[in-house]
Structure 1
Amino acid sequence: MIICDNKMKIRYVNAQFPGSNHDSHIWNVSNARYFHEKKYLDGERNSWLLGDAGYALEPWLMTPFRTPPSGSPEEKYNKIHAKARNIVERTIGVFKNRFRCLLGARELHYEPWKAPQIVNVAAVLHNVCIHYRVNDESLENNSEPNIFTESNEILSSTYNDAASQIREAICATLTRV
């Protein structure tokens, strides 16, 4: 699981779980989730993370609407959400192309305790490359992947009402734009 900013810097990475674990499980047990929940409970409500449909809607994590009617504000929200979330898919692509050992069979052939350390170091080096604008020609031809895939998994959340209200408010502003 990766959280990045709009400049493709990796702000959080968690490679402690094997690939068979769903991102939502990793999110639910992550320090990043607890950090954002604490900020929300402390009254900070001016920023959100964007997640795909496999994540539960939370007041600090905006997800797309499931099967919105064609031409509706919800469909417009989903399109804008997908465009904005594209940055994480591009970041992952650049990250894996920069550190080719992360490509392929999606596993590092090291002890389970060592593989997350390699990913963490690669993330730091990726951020150094971003900071110093290291230009890797092999990354320039990286095409943008399809970033909107819907998951059938429905996750529950204790913050669902507040999160739904936030997402509805964002969606309502789109009808005025």
Structure 2
Amino acid sequence: MEEVVCDADLKIRDIVTRWHGSVHDSRIYRECRLKQRFEAGAFRGVLLGDGGYPCTSHLFTPVLHPATPSEEQYNRCHIKTRNAVERCFGLWKQRFRCLLRGLYGNIETARMAIVACAVLHNIAIDMREDLFPGEEAAGEVL
């Protein structure tokens, strides 16, 4: 189980790979360094998370039961903006098929491979690398 933060350019900005098994997202976030840094004021802005996370002053989640047009609009905007996360994961897994199948064997080796794939993914974005020469990534413009 890992936690990944990406930006609007689909670059991976933070990754936590120390948890294995079925650890809840909220626990991973509660104990991660990124949360501590946000709370200490190291960053401007906010994170967007799904309903598995607690809503805080720096982590916005969807309104569970929207009751007003404003709450419904907020949820629509939240979903649209968070779509970058899904696109990032899709592109990352297209680039590194081992992430689709799962990594087996030594847990430390798997963690290092996940982080290495994240670093290489970011380098590919910086270099504007296509998945396949002459093709765009599933309609995405990098």
The TM tier, using the shorter chain, reads: 0.7 to 0.9
Q: Report deviation, 1:114.
A: 1.5
In structure 2, the partner of 1:78 is: 75
Matched residue type, 2:52 = G
Number of aligned residue pairs? 136
Does structure 1 residue 136 correspond to structure 2 residue 131? yes
Matched residue type, 2:70 = P
Inter-partner Cα distance in structure 2 for 1:119 and 1:26: 17
Matched residue type, 2:119 = V
Can you give the 5+ residue segments of structure 2 that lack an aligned partner in the other structure? none
- Find 2:110's aligned residue among 103, 106, 115: 115
Q: Report deviation, 1:97.
A: 1.2
Inter-partner Cα distance in structure 1 for 2:125 and 2:4: 16
Does structure 1 residue 124 correspond to structure 2 residue 119? yes
Q: Report deviation, 1:39.
A: 1.0
- Percent identity of equivalent pairs: 37
Does structure 1 residue 89 correspond to structure 2 residue 86? yes
Does structure 1 residue 100 correspond to structure 2 residue 97? yes
Relative contact order, higher structure (CA 8 A, sep 6+): 1
Q: Report deviation, 1:19.
A: 4.1
Inter-partner Cα distance in structure 2 for 1:130 and 1:141: 15
In structure 2, the partner of 1:62 is: 60
- Find 2:35's aligned residue among 33, 36, 39: 33
Q: Partner of 2:5: helix, strand, or coil? A: strand
Aligned Cα root-mean-square deviation (Å): 1.9
Inter-partner Cα distance in structure 2 for 1:31 and 1:60: 14
Inter-partner Cα distance in structure 1 for 2:16 and 2:89: 13
In structure 2, the partner of 1:50 is: 48
1:121-158 C-alpha deviation (Å, 9 max, x unpaired): 11000000000000113872379xxxxxxxxxxxxxxx
Of the two, which has the highest radius of gyration?
1
Inter-partner Cα distance in structure 2 for 1:114 and 1:129: 22
Inter-partner Cα distance in structure 2 for 1:120 and 1:91: 14
Inter-partner Cα distance in structure 2 for 1:124 and 1:102: 14
Q: Is 2:94–2:131's contact at 8 Å kept on the other side of the alignment?
A: no
